[in-house]
Amino acid sequence: MTTLTPHHLRRELNEEAHARPYAAIPSPARLTSLSLYYDFDDAPQRAALADLAERIGLPAPLAEQAYYSASAGDLTVRWSLHTEFARYTFIVGGDCADPFERTALDRIPAAWLRELPGVVLVALHAVLLPAERETELADMSSRWFGGRDLIGAEIGDGNGAAYTDLRLHPDARLAEGFSRYVVVDRAMGASQSGRMLQRLFELETYRMLTLLALPIAKKQMRDLDNLGIALRAITERMAAPDGNGSDAQLLSELTGLATRVEQLIAESQYRFSAAHAYYRLVEARISELREQRISGMQPFREFMERRLSPAMNTCETVARRQDRITARLQRTTALLRTRVEVLHEEQNRALLASMDRRAALQLRLQETVEGLSVGVLTYYMVSLLHHLLAAVEAAGMHLNVELLTGLAIPLVALTVWLSMRRLKASLNKGQDAHQDSELLR
């Protein structure tokens, strides 16, 4: 009887710990690992796996599974899907006189290989040998590695050994060739051998994925150099006394540089972040090998540190340069904007001073017009009064029209002037009240 309510992801999260189990690989065995890089659309990868299963008589994979393992006779096919790559591992048990001439990949249909989606990032052949088949290093190098210096170490606390030269050897199925690994099972057993081989395959895959960021970093080094030179030229033009270029033009050029920097960051940010994550996985897989140095041979950790650490330092340097040039652009743009704002404030002060002068001039003109208006109105009113007095005189009343008209002039002028002042005061009071009401709103 169920009384507890489980989280809806409990089973999925619990099964994640068992999502990609190691294979138990008894020695001797031949293995081929292919890591295919793809552009985040995993549908073609799933379709290719289903096609392979149908061609060689394996059970059909489930629609959404990210891991698959099945066997047909002595051939085992393992497949795992990751964020940006899919890995196939083909395992064939049994001894073989020349394991790098007759590889596990010979058991895979050539037509299917030609139609594989994605691009090959890692391709390697490996052989797992029992302890009695282990030979001298010089003999192993000359036989399988073209006489080159080998990289390797005892692994699994000395229970096995792994050797490679990390070079590409000819193979008819891939123009660039395949890498080669030789793993010796001294006392590991099938389970530990499977774990160690998978770690070596993952180590090689994550090493290559880490290095994908290096070409981007090298290219952006030159781009950032050019952007730095352009920014310095703009800064010098800003500081020039004669102002070489208008502020609007300088601001437009700064905006263009900032846009280009953001494009560079967008192009590299994901790849640099992924490189850091893959580099940590490389370090983790090396630790899991539990390697012990073989006298006179460079171990995996030392080789990876010497090759990958400079690459990661280059990526980190480019990322820091991106941040520095972004900060410089921000400071330069802020400085230019400040200069433009100061210039605008000076222009605004000059405009306000000009407006004050115009207002004063308008006030004087208004006062002049008011004076003329008083004179005009006085003239017309006195003229009307003169005609009125003349009419009264013509009617028979004895009046001195000229004297009365002359005496009326100052009285009429004073009356007109007082009336205009009262009207002006009333208009100003109404305007002030309107402004106050607008402010209250």
Amino acid found at 207: R
Residues 6+ apart with CB under 8 A from 367: none
According to the model, what pLDDT value does residue 36 have? Answer: 96
- DSSP codes, 339-356: HHHHHHHHHHHHHHHHHH
Between 159 and 415, where is the model more confident? 159
Which among 221, 202, 222 has a CA at the least distance from the CA of 281?
202
* 56: pLDDT strictly greater than 60: yes
235 confidence band (pLDDT: 50, 70, 90) = confident
According to the model, what pLDDT value does residue 369 have? Answer: 64
Farthest CA pair distance, the chain: 161
CA atoms of 170 and 145, how far apart (whole Å): 11
Q: pLDDT > 70: what percent of the chain?
A: 92
* 441: pLDDT strictly greater than 60: no
Mean local confidence (pLDDT), 117-144: 92
Mean local confidence (pLDDT), 224-247: 82
- Over residues 273-323, the pLDDT tens digits come to 999 999 999 999 999 999 999 998 999 999 998 889 999 999 999 999 999
Distance of CA 256 to the CA centre of its chain: 17
Q: pLDDT > 90: what percent of the chain?
A: 57
* 29: pLDDT strictly greater than 90: yes
Task: Report the range out of 233-247, 263-277, 339-353, 398-412 with the highest average pLDDT.
Answer: 263-277
Between 141 and 387, where is the model more confident? 141
Q: Which pTM value belongs to this model? A: 0.76
According to the model, what pLDDT value does residue 390 have? Answer: 77
* 134: pLDDT strictly greater than 80: yes
Between 193 and 385, where is the model more confident? 193
According to the model, what pLDDT value does residue 436 have? Answer: 58
Q: Which of 8-12, 60-64, 169-173 has the lowest mean pLDDT?
A: 8-12
Average pLDDT, the chain: 87
Pair 85, 93: CB distance under 8 Å: no
* 1: pLDDT strictly greater than 60: no
* 8: pLDDT strictly greater than 60: yes
According to the model, what pLDDT value does residue 346 have? Answer: 78
357 confidence band (pLDDT: 50, 70, 90) = confident
Between 205 and 246, where is the model more confident? 205
- DSSP codes, 372-418: HHHHHHHHHHHHHHHHHHHHHHHTT----HHHHHHHHHHHHHHHHHH
